[in-house]
């Protein structure tokens, strides 16, 4: 049996299918598509979060160096700023790796 559906641009004629196995196959494909989309979302989120953390850490460290230069205490502020930057970079790296694990493709 053929079912006619009206579209805005033209008429579509689609065969009507009642098979439950085809519905199960479509449901499985839809589920796989959603899971792939979620993995992509997690990967993009991890990259954006890493970049945002790096920008924030670099800005804070730049401000510390500027304050140290303005009050002539570079010998204190530059090492502190460097340690904060290194610690922040390690933290951002661990955060990105942890977030990227949620986007890993499952092994079958």
What's the CA gap between 79 and 47, in Å, rounded? 28
**Structure tokens of 18?**
């009642």
Residue 108: how many CB atoms within 10 A of its CB? 3
Per-residue pLDDT of the chain (108 residues; tens, 9 = 90+): 455 555 554 445 555 555 677 788 888 899 989 988 888 888 888 899 999 999 999 999 999 999 999 999 999 999 999 999 999 999 999 999 988 887 776 766
Distances in whole angstroms, Cα of residue 13 to Cα of each of 18, 21, 22: 16, 22, 19
CB 42 within 8 A of CB 102: yes
**Structure tokens of 17?**
């299918």
DSSP-H helix ranges across the chain: 20-70, 74-101
């Amino acid at each position: 049996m053929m079912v006619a559906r009206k579209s805005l641009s033209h008429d579509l004629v689609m065969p009507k299918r009642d098979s439950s196995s085809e519905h199960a196959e479509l449901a499985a494909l839809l589920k796989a598509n959603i899971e792939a989309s979620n993995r992509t979302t997690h990967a993009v989120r991890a990259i954006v979060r890493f970049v945002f953390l790096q920008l924030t850490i670099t800005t804070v460290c730049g401000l510390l160096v500027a304050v140290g230069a303005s009050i002539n205490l570079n010998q204190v502020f530059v090492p502190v700023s460097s340690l904060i930057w290194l610690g922040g970079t390690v933290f951002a790296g661990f955060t990105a790796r942890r977030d990227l694990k949620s986007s890993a493709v499952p092994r079958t």
